[in-house]
Structure 1
């Protein structure tokens, strides 16, 4: 049995809308990068809960968010905003840093 193309497209659209709605419902936290520093340097998130981290580079140069422990990294151009979605974290502290300014761009995500 062949499914009409318009029904397949409708189903695909509904799946995308459901995924977007789920992403919007996630607890959301914000991190600003500027002049080789992060603000805030500590982000407290709920343990065992997926969450979204919105990254904004307010500085004049590219900057990177990187966490080896969390296996996440993202480079942002000056003025750019993006986000990362994290799997539920066990309680603890997880280090992140800016690869372009590793001495000053440092912080922690604390799951409680």
Structure 2
């Protein structure tokens, strides 16, 4: 019986909906700039980021720090699953326009913040 209860509790902890920190973070890329270009999320929790491409070109939403890379066609919207992150600041960018489209995510650790 204990094994069944432990398995049930583990399933609740691993449930994607229960593990998400907040509502999705919504970003737009327009004229090869992100809006907003900085967001704050709770450290230690998974979160979703959506990106809508309002440029007239394909963009590649990427982050070495958060380990994702996704193509978003013009007029399209994509969703990225990110985290959990340690307290700190993490960069994201458009790989096709890395000098223009850049932004950051800060994982707020309630006073334990550092730079990743």
TM-score normalised by structure 2 residue count: 0.73
In 2, the alpha carbon distance for the partners of 1:87 and 1:111 equals 9
Question: Which has more radius of gyration?
Answer: 1
Match 2:50 to one of 39, 45, 54: 54
In 2, the alpha carbon distance for the partners of 1:108 and 1:84 equals 15
Q: How much has 1:49 moved relative to structure 2?
A: 0.9
- Alignment partner, residue 110 of structure 1: 106
Superposition misfits of 4+ residues, deviation over 4 angstroms: none
Q: How much has 1:37 moved relative to structure 2?
A: 0.9
Q: How much has 1:103 moved relative to structure 2?
A: 0.6
TM-score normalised by structure 1 residue count: 0.76
Match 2:83 to one of 82, 87, 91: 87
Report the count of equivalent residues: 95
Match 2:31 to one of 28, 35, 40: 35
